[in-house]
Structure 1
Amino acid sequence: MRRWFSISLLLIVTACSTTGTPTATVPAQPSPTATLAASPTLAPTATTQPSPTSVPTATPISSDPRTGRPAMARGTLTQRPYITMIDNFPAAYPQTGLDQAAVVFEALAEYGVTRYMAVFTPELAEVAGDLGPVRSARLYFVQWAMGFRAVYTHAGGSPEGLERLAADPNDLVIDIDLVSLESRQIFDYSRRSLQREAPHNLYTSAAQIAQYVDDRASDSAEADVNDVGFLFEPEAPVAEPVSTIDYFFIYPEDPAGWRYDPATNEYARLRRGAAHVDAVSGAQLTFKSVVTMEVFEAPIIGDDKGRIDQQVIGEGRALVFANGSLQEATWRKDSESAPLRFYDQSNAEIMFPAGPIWIAAMPSLDNVSYQ
């Protein structure tokens, strides 16, 4: 298994985008729940639960009162959030900007390696400096981004992801494909780092994203974002917390994890047993809440780069870690345009402590351990 995992990591760089890199020869590995006969676009799961109830706070909480970091509270946004796809191949370590995100999605790309989708809210909190390295889109990331009405920045993508973006000209999302812009000799909205090898050296910034919208998508800048975001309430740490969270996506040899600090009521991130740090600050990433959600995934039959698809429309199981506690939950996303939301066992929408949320979408919650 360790030899296979090492080979897979070496070959994933050849399969992460459609920008001309060589094609990997190692076949994709299905998750424990994958169905090889699944079609590239997976059928949504039927929603059988009763209509959910949600009770927003009278005054939405838009930031962590202790740190000022953003909390994407429903009803506080008036502008599209920014979403950036961020590389998680080892050559991309350490990344830049994840510590400024209001929400981060962590999900599989190919060969067991994950990718990040970072959601930023520059109207709620300044987003400074570089963001990246920027990598390619996948259909399921695009579908999540549509629920946020985001400005979506990426570097190329899978055929399915790019086709969906092309079919949605600045409606649900504003599409910024940095690789396409580079191919047209347009370099105003990104930069290449000389300290890293391509394709792990492409960066953008919130300022460049805003400039793109002003220059090329001003007619689509306005969007109805009143329904975007989550519900928050004042934090209430429990007396006997769940202090450790560990999980893997496909390979146990490639774990991620979190350690809860009751003094700050935050979770500090580990990657392969070491602190996951930001390239600029050097500080370990910390988030106020951690969610693990189970999504059906399967290889795309006939895809020459071993790509997978994930079913992110419908509903499924989730575990919500916040305030040191654990809640069994259900995630729901009724359509591409619908937001992703989480509900407790009584079907009430979950309210998080104010601050950033990390969402890990994996093939099976059996891959999560905690104590």
Structure 2
Amino acid sequence: MKRRWWILVAVVALALTTATLVVARSLSGPSTAGDPAGSTQPVPPHRHPVFAVKIDDVPEARPQTGLGAADVVYVEPVEGGLTRLIVVYFSAAPALAGPVRSARATDVQLLSQYGRPTLAYSGAAPEILPALHAASFVNASPQEVPDLYFRDPARPAPHNLYVHAARLPSDDVPPGEETPRYGPVPPAGVPASGYAIGYGAARFEFGWSASTARWTVSLDGSPVTSTESGAVTAATVVEQRVTVRYGEPGEYGTVSGSPIATTIGTGPATVLRDGLRFAASWTRATPDSPTRFHTTAGTPLPFAAGPLWILLVPA
């Protein structure tokens, strides 16, 4: 009888121990058994939908609205040596953005790396409209969402069209990979206090401010400002050298042809971050792939947290 009692005690103790281990395992998370790395695979973070707005940057359009909220600002070459901005928001779109201007062929290839973003633009040449409507983004011109646009009578047309950016429609399809990629500063940078990038009829200058840990932004000798936030700054600046071809006369609605920047492939680049300048290269394999940057030694070159300016410059 005494022997049976001890067996019963042992069975109960074993059951309690097993139950304790099961509870402990359930509280500590999934088992890592069978994982060669010794840990569970990380869950990708939620990526918010992306909104992009074509914004004018000629003198009549300044100061613009909505630049202060930008996550990424692309500068692209357009006709006559001028430039235009593609302002990208994925943290939060501002209440207003503008002046809104027309889309270009460059936008179709460039924005495809962002999943299925929304593109707000004033319109486009008839020759490019089929490509825009077939592209992997939500078209949000006044033709599709007229109630979201208005004109400021205090400014001259066509530099007076604005969009209620925070109300833009979205398909809620974020990019499949982290775009852009942020991270710690790598080695191989050299100190830089300023940098200038020239186009045919526009010149951008960036100056490092150690007190704010940001690059100041100037265009044609004047600071770039935004009506809602004041002076515009950047945490990282990229000069991305790209192949540019010019459309045949009339191909995209212009007499001399419109510059079309190729953003798939590889090429040289210069990256400014943390008061340093990096000689770099960029690569992008497919329309759905993100653009990645590396030092000349092949080390990944992520960006500093904060606003990012990428200037597409003819190679």
Please classify the TM superposition score into its range, dividing by the shorter chain length: 0.7 to 0.9
Aligned to 2:10: none
Question: Equivalent pairs: percent with the same residue?
Answer: 27
Aligned to 1:328: 279
For the aligned residue pairs, the C-alpha RMSD in angstroms reads 2.4
Deviation of 1:273 (Å)? 1.1
Deviation per residue, 1:65-95 (Å, 9 max, x gap): xxxxxxxxxx544332101110112211111
Higher strand share: 2
Aligned residue type for 1:133 = P
Q: CA 1:237–1:192 in 2, change beyond 3 Å: closer, same or farther?
A: farther
Q: CA 1:324–1:151 in 2, change beyond 3 Å: closer, same or farther?
A: same
Deviation per residue, 1:110-158 (Å, 9 max, x gap): 101100001101xx3x433310111111111221111112111111124
Q: Does 1:288 align with 2:257?
A: no
Asked if the contact 1:238–1:325 (Cα under 8 Å) also holds between the matched residues in 2, the reply is no
Q: Does 1:166 align with 2:133?
A: yes
Q: State the secondary structure of the residue aligned to 1:250.
A: coil
Asked if the contact 1:148–1:228 (Cα under 8 Å) also holds between the matched residues in 2, the reply is no
Aligned residue type for 2:156 = E
Q: State the secondary structure of the residue aligned to 1:134.
A: coil
Deviation of 1:348 (Å)? 3.3
Q: State the secondary structure of the residue aligned to 1:105.
A: strand
Structure 1 residues not aligned, in runs of 5+:
1-59, 61-74, 214-220, 365-371
Aligned residues: 268
Q: CA 1:235–1:329 in 2, change beyond 3 Å: closer, same or farther?
A: closer
Structure ranking higher on relative contact order (CA contacts 8 Å, 6+ apart)? 1
Asked if the contact 1:107–1:361 (Cα under 8 Å) also holds between the matched residues in 2, the reply is yes
In terms of Rg, which structure is larger? 2
State the distance in 2 between where 1:201 and 1:207 align.
18
Q: Does 1:116 align with 2:85?
A: yes
Q: CA 1:238–1:278 in 2, change beyond 3 Å: closer, same or farther?
A: farther
Q: Does 1:353 align with 2:309?
A: no
Q: TM-score, normalised by structure 2?
A: 0.78
Aligned to 2:218: 270
State the distance in 2 between where 1:296 and 1:83 align.
23
State the distance in 2 between where 1:311 and 1:204 align.
28
Deviation per residue, 1:15-50 (Å, 9 max, x gap): xxxxxxxxxxxxxxxxxxxxxxxxxxxxxxxxxxxx
State the distance in 1 between where 2:174 and 2:232 align.
31
State the distance in 1 between where 2:124 and 2:283 align.
25
Q: CA 1:331–1:363 in 2, change beyond 3 Å: closer, same or farther?
A: same
**Structure 1 counterpart of 2:206, from 252, 255, 258:** 258
Aligned to 1:79: 48
**Structure 1 counterpart of 2:139, from 156, 164, 175:** 175
Deviation per residue, 1:234-293 (Å, 9 max, x gap): 569999730011121124xx3210110112221001111111111233x21101000001
Aligned to 2:119: 152
Q: Does 1:298 align with 2:249?
A: no
Aligned to 1:143: 109
Q: Does 1:201 align with 2:160?
A: yes
Asked if the contact 1:137–1:162 (Cα under 8 Å) also holds between the matched residues in 2, the reply is no
Structure 2 residues not aligned, in runs of 5+:
1-41
Asked if the contact 2:97–2:162 (Cα under 8 Å) also holds between the matched residues in 1, the reply is yes
Asked if the contact 2:190–2:277 (Cα under 8 Å) also holds between the matched residues in 1, the reply is no
Aligned residue type for 2:203 = P
Aligned to 1:342: 293
Aligned to 1:28: none
Deviation per residue, 1:294-333 (Å, 9 max, x gap): 1122321223343222222211110001111111111122
1:95-110 maps to which residues of 2 (within 5 A)?
95-110=64-79
Aligned to 2:180: 230
Of stretches 234-243 and 136-145 in structure 1, the one that deviates more from structure 2 is 234-243
Q: TM-score, normalised by structure 1?
A: 0.67
State the distance in 2 between where 1:349 and 1:102 align.
20
Aligned to 2:266: 315
Q: State the secondary structure of the residue aligned to 2:123.
A: coil
Deviation of 1:163 (Å)? 2.2
